[in-house]
Chain A
Amino acid sequence: MNAEAATPAAGEKPEFWRWAENVWVDETKDWRSAKTLTLGIDVGSVSSQCVAVADGELYAYSSMRTGSNSPDSALNAFKGIAGQTGMTLNDVHFVVGTGYGRVNVPFSHKAITEIACHARGANYMGGNSVRTILDMGGQDCKAIHCDEKGKVTNFLMNDKCAAGTGRGMEVISDLMQIPIAELGGRSFDVDQEPEAVSSVCVVFAKSEALALLKGGYTKNKVIAAYCQAMAERVVSLLERIGVEEGFFITGGIAKNPGVVKRIEKLLGIQAMATKIDSQIAGALGGALFAHTLVQKQGPAKPLLA
């Protein structure tokens, strides 16, 4: 289910950072037979996801690149699912918007923060033993504590700068001219584990990476140094809030083993495994909240985009 590098069409300039947009549908189910059908739409800074939940179970999702306008990005994410399933907004009983564009989802009935949604999504993906969630998103990262129901009990976010987040990884991918999905694997293909780059600031790290290349580092070693820096940065965030057993990582960078394994090594804790795409956790949590709201309040009238 993980994203793969998109293959550029002939004549196009390759964009190594560009991860493939993708849609997944559980072919064993039919949404038409579901009593309750809900959506979660997560409009993030870099990617937008739509998750459909049928009778409280994951049914389909799409993961798209966020455009310049939140309402269009939300609709585009829904169209990913609609195109493959024939579902329309009239068929949906409740829509929850989340992510930084949560208040700009024109067809959502309720906006819930991505902090609450990631915790709820992680609770579904990892089970009710999940207690600490690290969400590594496109332009921020969050450390979240939750209870056995997936309700947030405490959280911390990174400060203003986007260092050490998905966008930073995209910049390094482009700089190294290596598809983003390959970075993690390559970061272990080094003769010796390098020191972390000293700055995770996207701009400074770029110049530092260039200097390392000129100094004789292989590309893989530069990537390793960047992954290590990113791991150290998020671990410092996690240590401020404390890591409890039941550690789960969500967000796009959870798919990058180069960062995840280094985080695990620094913490001395294994992240819990999941078969579900970690990038959809926020939208999944939103769709699950929507399901609960339908159970308690009944279906909402569809809002057309």
Chain B
Amino acid sequence: MGSGLFGQFTAWYERRHDYARDWKARTGGQVVATMCTYTPEELLIAAGMLPVRVLGAHEPQNVSEPHIFGMFCPFCRDSLAQGLLGRFDYADGVTLTQSCIQYRQAFDAWRRHVPSVQWDYYCPMPNDVQSRHAKAAHRHEVRRFREFLEQLTGRALDEAALNEAIGVVNENRRLLRALYEFRKEANPKVTGLEAVYAALTAQFVDKREHNAELKRVIAALPDREMEREEGVRLMTIGSENDDCGFMAMVESVGATIVIDDQCSGSRYFWNEVKVNGDAVAAIADRYCERPACPTKDYPEHTRFDHVLKLAQNYKAQAAVFLQQKFCDPHEGDYPDLKRHLEAAGIPTLFLEFDITNPIGPFRIRIEAFLETLREDDLF
């Protein structure tokens, strides 16, 4: 276990494959590699499985290019590379719920070319979640996914099992929201880097264990003394981000990241399943209603106001776009979202991320951006 209050989360993150192997050995359950956070994890958990989100490793690699294009986003390429390099060799199955077409191709290459994968499931999901037919369609797809899992395991996923899983996942969401609440305070007791560790590990650690650790940390937070200076309060915006070196750098040069709109952070856990007597329908609806990824946010751009509200509620003074290179959905949103934030008095900085990122050049951009925001003694 790592040191400090968030040491367990850091240790889980840094040894995530060891954790999954260990979980499998001690429970005998199946591990499922999940691609994209639209996966209805409640079904997998009800089936006694461990959903483990596929993340990249931020290392140079040369294995993804024969399968997907080099101009697919770094997260696609890195995620596929991890499969091809055998890093997820403990995963029994792999599943994707539709979001962007590039990631779907990364998934397709995964299921064809990662030999350790025993089964795969593609769950179609409407991108037009604003359509009046979307929820009905997605309920149907989640039901089909349940049937698939029932056949696979030979075990019924009844209402009781699903409701129990919903309870566990909802509790995890509530606890992460409670953790994020501390970030609203002045000189928050949770740094952006710590929040990333907490939110990311929820995506591959057994939720029951994760909940217990979150409770322990949240109970200790009120008495925590922060010895660092707050600096400028920043928001991060983008898709997946687990570049912890980058986050640590930002928070070492006079800033605190207080909120995010990213699928590795708040978008993953923001809303709960509203239990209504039909567990599958409630699960499906939750994913249609969650804070949208740009692939599922049209014709109306619901996320623009959501992002602005987050920035305002968490008193972010400025926002940094962590743009995965070649990520078309986020690039498409960028110009209008930038205007939307800046019109409300929130300045923005745009950084383009790749599989590996140059910390030095990013540092000067961040420092110069912070200098423009500070009212200091220089003038």
Contacts and interface: CB of A to CB of B under 8 A. Distances in A.
A151 B372 contact: yes
Contacts of A153: 372
Contacts of B379: 149-151, 292
B185 interface: no
A115 B378 CA distance: 14
B361 A113 contact: no
A297 interface: yes
Given A112-B371, A292-B379, A157 B365 contact: yes
A159 B357 CA distance: 11
B371 A152 contact: yes
Nearest to A144: B368
Given A151-B372, A152-B372, A114 B364 contact: yes
A100 B364 contact: yes
A152 B361 CA distance: 18
Contacts of B305: none
A293 B377 CA distance: 6
A116 B361 contact: no
Contacts of A112: 371, 378
A116 B364 contact: no
Given A292-B379, A293-B377, A293-B378, A115 B368 contact: yes
B373 to A, nearest CB: 10
- Interface residue tally on B, bucketed by range: 10 to 19
A113 B368 contact: yes
Interface residues of A, number: 23
Contacts of B368: 113, 115-116, 152, 155
B360 A113 contact: no
A159 B352 CA distance: 9
Nearest to A111: B367
A93 to B, nearest CB: 15
Interface in A149-194: 149-155, 157, 159-160
B364 A115 contact: yes
Interface in A80-125: 100, 112-116, 120
Interface of B: 352, 358, 360-361, 364-365, 367-368, 371-372, 377-379
Please give me the 6 A-B residue pairs with the lowest Cβ-Cβ distance, nearest first: A115-B368, A113-B368, A296-B377, A116-B371, A113-B367, A152-B372
Interface of A: 100, 112-116, 120, 140, 149-155, 157, 159-160, 289, 292-293, 296-297
Given A112-B378, A292-B377, 10 more contacts: A100-B364, A112-B371, A113-B364, A149-B379, A151-B379, A157-B365, A159-B352, A160-B361, A292-B379, A293-B377
20 contacts: A100-B360, A100-B364, A112-B378, A113-B367, A113-B368, A113-B371, A140-B361, A149-B379, A151-B379, A154-B372, A155-B368, A155-B372, A157-B361, A157-B365, A159-B352, A160-B361, A289-B378, A292-B378, A296-B377, A297-B377
